Amino acid sequence: MSKPFRVEREAADELEEAARWYEERRPGLGSEFLDAVNVTRELIARWPHAGAPVPGVPSDLQVRRAPVQGFPYHIVYLETPSAMRVLSFAHDRRRPRYWRSRIVR
């Protein structure tokens, strides 16, 4: 049984902003982006340790990232005993590691 996902407020805002940006570029592209995000989320739920560990994060925290297929984004997440915490829907080339302040032990 997979753990529930808990999306940080800032991450939810990032996802909404990215989907809106893609939709403005081409009608339907925002939905394609959200579909790709959902596929990645399902993969994380099924195989939480398959995401690549994020370098530079304290070793006692298992912060991982999984790519969103077809888009320059990763889902950055942390598995806790009770949930999968989504820290960020991070663009691959913008503001690296800006989301680190969202890690709370």
Asked whether residue 24 is domain-assigned, the answer is yes
**What CA–CA distance (Å, rounded) separates 33 from 71?**
7
The pTM (predicted TM-score) of the whole model is 0.85
| Residue 22 in this model has a pLDDT that exceeds 70 | yes
Boundaries of domain holding 68: 5-98
CATH no. for residue 66?
Answer: 3.30.2310.20
Examine residue 88 and state whether it is found in any structural domain, yes or no.
yes
Q: Is residue 105 part of a domain?
A: no
Judge whether 104 lies within some domain. Answer: no
65-81 confidence digits (pLDDT tens): 999 999 999 999 998 88
Spatial neighbors of 59 by CB under 8 A, at least 6 apart, are: none
**pLDDT (tens digit, 9 = 90+) per residue, 55-68?**
888 777 889 999 99
- For residue 25, tell me if it sits in a domain: yes
Q: If pLDDT is split at 50, 70 and 90, which confidence band does 96 have?
A: low
Q: Total domain count for the chain?
A: 1
Task: Report the alpha-carbon distance of residue 46 to residue 67 in Å, rounded.
Answer: 15
Q: Is residue 103 part of a domain?
A: no
Is the pLDDT at 15 greater than 70? The verdict is yes
